[in-house]
Chain A
Amino acid sequence: MIREVIRIRDMWFSYNGAPVLKEINLVIKEKEFLALIGPNGGGKTTLLKLMLGLLKPDRGSILIFDRSPHEVAHRIGYVPQSLYTNQGVPVTALEVVLMGRRMPGSAWRRYQSRDKNAAQKAMEQMGIWSLRKRRVGALSGGQRQRLLISRALVAEPDMLFLDEPAANIDAKGQGELYDLLKALNKHMTILLVSHDLMVVSSYSHAVACVNERLHYHDEAEITEEMMEAFQCPVDLIAHGQPHRVLRPHKE
């Protein structure tokens, strides 16, 4: 039987009194590749942060690996949007990746050679090992994005949450990134916030549209219902290829 790794039951969340998420129910099975789509401000990032235990729900429950999120957050690799990191801190790219090797309750611990080997592997995977001595503030947007992905991978997580990881990465890099995710998906569960509907249709197993409420569809297609009831996805028309996205399986 395939294990359920995420279980959210009747979860509500509001921010400063304004409801952000309502009545969220979601079950994610091991090794699933779920794409989260939805309009800006629809609550996608908030949902990720709730699942990471960075925010607490007002009502309802979230279980990750059958535990509460803050107990197991270190088993999840998280790739935030890079604009939330502080570029003014003088750290090298390698140091940033090593930050992903920290473990709860180990302030005194210094990095050892196996941490450095893991960092090298993760950085080589993203093609940024040659930038290891570069200061973070001197990296380009795309390089920084790859760096944050390396930092998430370095702890060899059981699950990967990515918040628009392809932003700032060029087309070739994006293709490589998604192929890597596909390979990683063989042994880890992946949740991906993306506006790129090509990705939704060609890589994910399932799609969830988040716009205050959550609508889950266990095939990689976007239904009429999602579009109408949830105004999802916002940039469907802008992409100009609605057919491929709407019916990816019928060829």
Chain B
Amino acid sequence: MLDALQLDFFRHAVAVGLLASLLCGLIGTLVVINRLVFLSGGIAHAAYGGIGLSVFLGIPFLAGTLGFALTSAWVMAAITLKAKHRSDTIIGVVWAVGMALGIILIDLTPGYHVDLMSYLFGSILTVTREDLYILSGAGLFVILVVGYFYHDLSSMAFDEEFARLRGVPVEGLYFLLVCMVALSVVLIIRVVGLILVMALMTIPPYIAEGYTASLRSMMLLSVCLSVLFMTAGLYLSFSFNLTSGAAIILTAAVGFFISMGLKTFLKGRKKTAR
């Protein structure tokens, strides 16, 4: 690992991994407690439409995917606020339409030969200095917003109606949250790809939830776990020449099962102690 750190691309990969962990920990926690996992999956897949659009129009991928993800996120958020009981269906539709649109747009583009695999599974080892700057900016933005609205966010998650009565701008905050989810998803796609982004956003918060009593500590623990999975996954990927995104996710999955085992063990001990 130390040898690897001498290499420019690997240093970038580690830095990007750490920044992505920050986004995963903060936004992933909010996604898990607000039960937005399906909506986030919808955003991630609809973002594929953005890749198609970027190829078709010849614009940078980040601009295309971010624009597309934000638009679809707003549509889904507006519909889920209005008709909660139908939201899963609507998300499912946007999810598929985004992907189909992406595929068709790429079909329509003559002479297209970009490596699609890197968007499906990520390519953390090819990130550039520019990616690093963008991720740093996004990380700073998310920290500031979550810090500023911390109490409002936890009020909204616990009891939306009561939060509304206490003057929390629930609707605006929900849209802001969904936008931050879209931003994080698009940037993390760069790291682990759109197929695996949801695992990375949900596994660390899910593990953290079992061991923490406040939102703040859940976020902190999620960030730490993400860092752990990310660096361990990268190390494995480098040492054994494995696809980095998949190595990271499998490391997270191992963490997930260890945590499940630990929880069952602790429960069992509590019972016998009684």
What is the interface of chain A, defined by CB distance below 8 A to chain B?
A: 49, 52-54, 73-74, 76, 78, 80, 84-86, 88-92, 95-96, 98-100, 102-111, 133-136, 151, 155
Q: Report whether A89 and B148 are in contact in the complex, using a CB–CB cutoff of 8 Å.
A: no
Interface contacts (Cβ under 8 Å), in number, total 94
Q: Report whether A107 and B159 are in contact in the complex, using a CB–CB cutoff of 8 Å.
A: no
Contacts of B212 in A (CB 8 A): 90
Given A88-B209, A89-B215, A90-B209: A78 in contact with B162 (beta carbons within 8 A): yes
Q: Report whether B162 and A80 are in contact in the complex, using a CB–CB cutoff of 8 Å.
A: yes
Q: Which 4 A-B pairs have the closest CB atoms?
A: A104-B167, A102-B166, A135-B213, A73-B165
Q: Report whether A89 and B166 are in contact in the complex, using a CB–CB cutoff of 8 Å.
A: no
Contacts of A76 in B (CB 8 A): 165
Contacts of B209 in A (CB 8 A): 88, 90
A50 to B69, CA, bound (A): 36
Main secondary structure on B side of the interface with A: helix
Q: In whole Å, how far is B146's beta carbon from the nearest beta carbon of chain A?
A: 12
Q: In whole Å, how far is B82's beta carbon from the nearest beta carbon of chain A?
A: 12
Given A52-B165, A78-B165, A104-B166: A85 in contact with B213 (beta carbons within 8 A): no
Contacts of B218 in A (CB 8 A): 90
Closest to B83 in A: A16
Q: Report whether B215 and A84 are in contact in the complex, using a CB–CB cutoff of 8 Å.
A: no
Q: Report whether B155 and A102 are in contact in the complex, using a CB–CB cutoff of 8 Å.
A: yes
Select the residue from B148, B164, B166, B169 with max chain A CB neighbours within 10 A.
B166
Contacts of B155 in A (CB 8 A): 99, 102
A45 to B168, CA, bound (A): 21
What is the interface of chain B, defined by CB distance below 8 A to chain A?
A: 32-33, 35, 148-149, 151-152, 154-155, 157-159, 161-169, 209, 212-215, 217-218
Q: Report whether B159 and A90 are in contact in the complex, using a CB–CB cutoff of 8 Å.
A: no
Given A102-B152, A104-B166: A133 in contact with B33 (beta carbons within 8 A): no
A96 to B154, CA, bound (A): 9
Q: In whole Å, how far is A212's beta carbon from the nearest beta carbon of chain B?
A: 23
Q: In whole Å, how far is B259's beta carbon from the nearest beta carbon of chain A?
A: 15
Closest to A105 in B: B167
Q: In whole Å, how far is A79's beta carbon from the nearest beta carbon of chain B?
A: 9
Contacts of A52 in B (CB 8 A): 165
Q: Report whether B213 and A90 are in contact in the complex, using a CB–CB cutoff of 8 Å.
A: yes
Q: Report whether B161 and A90 are in contact in the complex, using a CB–CB cutoff of 8 Å.
A: no
Candidates A90, A95, A106, A135; contact of B167 at CB < 8 Å: A106
A136 to B164, CA, bound (A): 20
Q: Report whether B214 and A90 are in contact in the complex, using a CB–CB cutoff of 8 Å.
A: yes
A90 to B218, CA, bound (A): 7
Q: In whole Å, how far is B152's beta carbon from the nearest beta carbon of chain A?
A: 5
A225 to B203, CA, bound (A): 59
Closest to A103 in B: B167
27 A–B pairs (Cβ distance < 8 Å), ordered by A? A74-B167, A80-B159, A80-B162, A85-B159, A86-B159, A88-B209, A89-B154, A89-B215, A90-B217, A91-B213, A91-B214, A92-B214, A95-B214, A99-B151, A99-B158, A102-B151, A104-B166, A105-B167, A107-B151, A107-B152, A107-B169, A109-B151, A110-B151, A111-B151, A134-B213, A136-B158, A155-B166
Contacts of A95 in B (CB 8 A): 154, 214
A88 to B154, CA, bound (A): 11
Q: In whole Å, how far is B79's beta carbon from the nearest beta carbon of chain A?
A: 15
Q: Report whether B148 and A107 are in contact in the complex, using a CB–CB cutoff of 8 Å.
A: yes
Closest to B29 in A: A90
Select the residue from A74, A76, A98, A107 with max chain B CB neighbours within 10 A.
A107
Select the residue from A80, A99, A136 with max chain B CB neighbours within 10 A.
A99
Q: Report whether B213 and A92 are in contact in the complex, using a CB–CB cutoff of 8 Å.
A: yes
Closest to A93 in B: B213
Q: In whole Å, how far is A103's beta carbon from the nearest beta carbon of chain B?
A: 6
Q: Report whether B33 and A89 are in contact in the complex, using a CB–CB cutoff of 8 Å.
A: yes
Given A88-B33, A90-B209: A99 in contact with B165 (beta carbons within 8 A): no
Closest to A78 in B: B165
A53 to B162, CA, bound (A): 11
Inter-chain pairs besides A78-B162, A80-B162, A91-B213, 11 sampled, C-beta below 8 Å: A74-B165, A76-B165, A78-B165, A84-B159, A86-B33, A88-B33, A89-B33, A90-B212, A90-B213, A99-B154, A110-B151
Contacts of B215 in A (CB 8 A): 89-91
Given A74-B165, A90-B213, A90-B214: A85 in contact with B148 (beta carbons within 8 A): no
Contacts of A80 in B (CB 8 A): 159, 161-162
Q: Report whether A54 and B164 are in contact in the complex, using a CB–CB cutoff of 8 Å.
A: yes
